[in-house]
Amino acid sequence: MAEVPKDLKYSKEHEWVRVAGDAVVIGITDHAQEQLGDVVYVDLPSVGSEISQFESFGTVESVKAASDLYAPVSGKVVEVNDALKEHPELVNESPYDKAWMIKVKLKDKKELDVLLSPADYDELVASIS
């Protein structure tokens, strides 16, 4: 059963969001990495670029498929996890910790309201597996 930490918010597209003041950290969920299989490449935006809620901000490639990453919130990218370039396997090993993907300065805090709670996300995962 996929792990769903209680201190995060989630998107329907299987990204997680950790809120820290007016910035958020974004990654993909345990369920997402399980579905993808061995991740071999992660393509992330550069620091300073703008991302928009529910639009693609990058791609993650596994031995099975290449999938878009969807931004759970809008804002400016302030930090990128460069470790994933050399070590994409971190996405499989540590999706919620070492494989955080980008840190974003929030444009509009209200966007967080449409994201899923851990319980809602749990339910979503249960309904599709």
> Based on CB atoms, which residue is closest to other proteins, 40 or 124?
40
Instruction: Name the site residues for other proteins (rule: CB under 8 A).
Output: 35, 37-38, 40-41, 61, 63-65, 67, 88-89, 128-129
Burial 86-123 (b: 16+ CB within 10 A, else e): eebebbbeebbeebbbbbbebbeeebeeebbeeeebbe
Find all residues with CB under 8 Å of 56, minimum gap 6, and list them.
68, 69, 70, 71
> Based on CB atoms, which residue is closest to other proteins, 79 or 89?
89
Residue with tokens 């991740």, as numbered in its chain = 39
- Shortest separation between residue 101's beta carbon and other proteins, angstroms: 17
- Shortest separation between residue 87's beta carbon and other proteins, angstroms: 8
> Based on CB atoms, which residue is closest to other proteins, 37 or 117?
37
Between CA 66 and CA 80 the distance in angstroms is 20
- Shortest separation between residue 70's beta carbon and other proteins, angstroms: 12
- Shortest separation between residue 11's beta carbon and other proteins, angstroms: 16
> Based on CB atoms, which residue is closest to other proteins, 18 or 98?
98
Find all residues with CB under 8 Å of 28, minimum gap 6, and list them.
14, 15, 16, 60, 69, 91, 95, 99, 101
